[in-house]
Structure formats: structure tokens, C-alpha cells
Amino acid sequence: MMSEPKTGAREGAMGFLTDTTLCIGCKACEVACKQWNQLPADNFGYTGNSYDNTGDLAAETWRHVSFVEQLADDSGARPTSLKAFQSNWLMMSDVCKHCVNAGCLEACPTGAIVRTEFDTVIIQQDICNGCGYCVPACPFGVPALSPIDHKAHKCTLCYDRLRGGMEPACAKACPTDSIQFGLVEDLMERASDRVENLRQRRVDGAYIYGDRETGGTHGIDGLNAFFILTAPSETYNLPAEPELPQDKTFPSYASTILAAAAFAIGAALSLRGK
């Protein structure tokens, strides 16, 4: 009996595998993304967030390298004093997940957000009206409204480069192959092999974030840009069990039916009273 695929990715879907165990925090991906997509520079300054000077994904930052410092004693628990402790850095290059079922696409009222022939999700700037509906519809908080043109922006997975037969700028620039590009089906198989190898090397906490079981849950059906993590997803500012916000709302047609039924019952009762 064949097991169910780990992701619902469509045939031919292209995406990213970001292996955090290979990330050195060089930010080459951030720079390459900004250069190729002609994104404005960030207002660099002291943020109080360690080396993480970009802070988060934004309308002008489509790749974001986060730095997470972990402090623990020999038992792995967080130290209660400033005596001997171990310091460990976790680094991850975050990006739009290009979800198999994308909440932003479903929420867009103008058709500005579409799925490309590579199964990636892009925002057409000439159609976007800046309504912002896509912003709360994304369980990962990726799309953002730009203070410059007041439209929604996010990673396009370098759609223009893909059409020209080139890989995305961030993957091209990554010196350690932490960011890998290709067919989602192939990348998922590669990620499974990598996780198994890491566990054999006693990295017991290694796992894939972005399949149907973890990260691509509750109707999302998997991520076309997924990750190999070694700590709980919340550590990397990723929800443990993301779900589409619109699935939490009461269907509009159902509310309309209930309202019509209530009106009919009210009308019938008022006629009986006469």
C-alpha cells in the first residue's frame, strides 16, 4: 500500500528547501534579493535584536536572515545564573512559503494574486489596489503593504529569472547551499535524506517544517518553500500548526441562509399574531 505524499504540491511545482543547519548568517541571500528585485535598502541601525538588523520580512525585504541565540546549561535547560553556560546560534533565512493552498490568493478580491506556471504565488502590481486583505489572510505574516506605493509586496520566487531558465537570486548567491532550489518533489526527498543523516549524527531534533504534518497543516496542504529545523518552530518565529484564517470564519452563504430563515420565521409569526 502506497503511503500518502508528504506534501500536496502539484506536479512540476518549483520551490525552496532552506536547510538551517547549513546557514552561516552571511545575509548574501538578502543582498542578492534586494539587488535583483531593485528593492530599497533597509534603514540600518541599532535594533537591540543581536545581529538581526532587518527584523522581519517586509514589503521591501523578501528574504530575512534571523539570528536566534540560545543560552543553556549542560542539561539543555535555560541557565538561572551567569555561571558556566553554553551559547548556541540558530540562523534561518526566511521567505514566502508559496503555500500549496495560499490564503493570500484566496483572500485577494481583485485577482492580483495568482499562481504561476511554476506553482509559485505572485502579486501582480498593476492589479493590486492596496486593500490589504492578503495581509491577515497569510498564516505566516508574509505579505506587507509598502509605505512607498501602498501596495502589497512579497517574494516572487524570482519569477522573471525562472522564465529565463535561471534559479532565484537568493539560491544562486548562497555560499553554503543552505538555500536550494528545484522541483518540490525532489527537494522534499532530499530533505528527508538530510534529516535522516542529521539524526544519525545525533542531531536528534532535526525535522522538516513544511509538509502536511508540520507547517503545512489545516488545509494549507504543504509549503512549496520549506525548511529543515532543529528547534521548535516558534523559536524561528514560525507557527507550530498554521491554518488558513478564512477557515475560522463562518461561511457567508451559511449566514445568509440563516438570516433568510430567521426573517421568514419572524414574518410567519407576525402574520399569525394578526
Domain boundaries, the chain: 14-249
**DSSP of 210-247, one letter per residue?**
SBTTTBSTTTT--BSEEEEESS-GGGGT--SS---GGG
Q: Tell me the torsion sign for CA atoms 163, 164, 166, 169.
A: negative
Say if residue 155's pLDDT is above 80: yes
Closest CA to 123 of 140, 98, 148, 147: 98
What burial class does residue 57 get, using C-beta atoms within 10 Å of its C-beta: 0-12 exposed, 13-18 middle, 19+ buried? buried
* Contact by Cβ (8 Å): 144, 152: yes
% of the chain residues with pLDDT over 90: 71
pTM of the model: 0.83
Of 88 and 32, the structure prediction assigns the larger pLDDT to 32
What rounded mean pLDDT belongs to the chain? 88
Confidence bin at 190 (pLDDT 50/70/90): very high
Residue 45 CA neighbour count, 13 Å, CB half: 1
CATH architecture assignment, domain 14-249: 2-Layer Sandwich (3.30)
The pairing of beta strand 113-115 with beta strand 86-94: unpaired
* Cα–Cα distance, 82 to 35 (Å, whole number): 42
The residues, ordered by sequence, that sit 6+ positions from 27 with a Cβ below 8 Å of its Cβ are 65
Query: What pLDDT is attached to residue 265?
Result: 76
The 10s digit of each residue's pLDDT in 36-95 is 999 998 776 666 666 677 888 999 999 999 998 877 654 455 555 555 556 788 999 999
Say if residue 221's pLDDT is above 70: yes
Say if residue 263's pLDDT is above 70: no
H or E segment and range at residue 19? strand 14-19
* Cα–Cα distance, 2 to 108 (Å, whole number): 37
Among 69-73, 101-105, 142-146, the least confident range: 69-73
Query: What pLDDT is attached to residue 101?
Result: 97
Query: What pLDDT is attached to residue 251?
Result: 56
Query: What mean pLDDT comes out for the span 172-199?
Result: 98
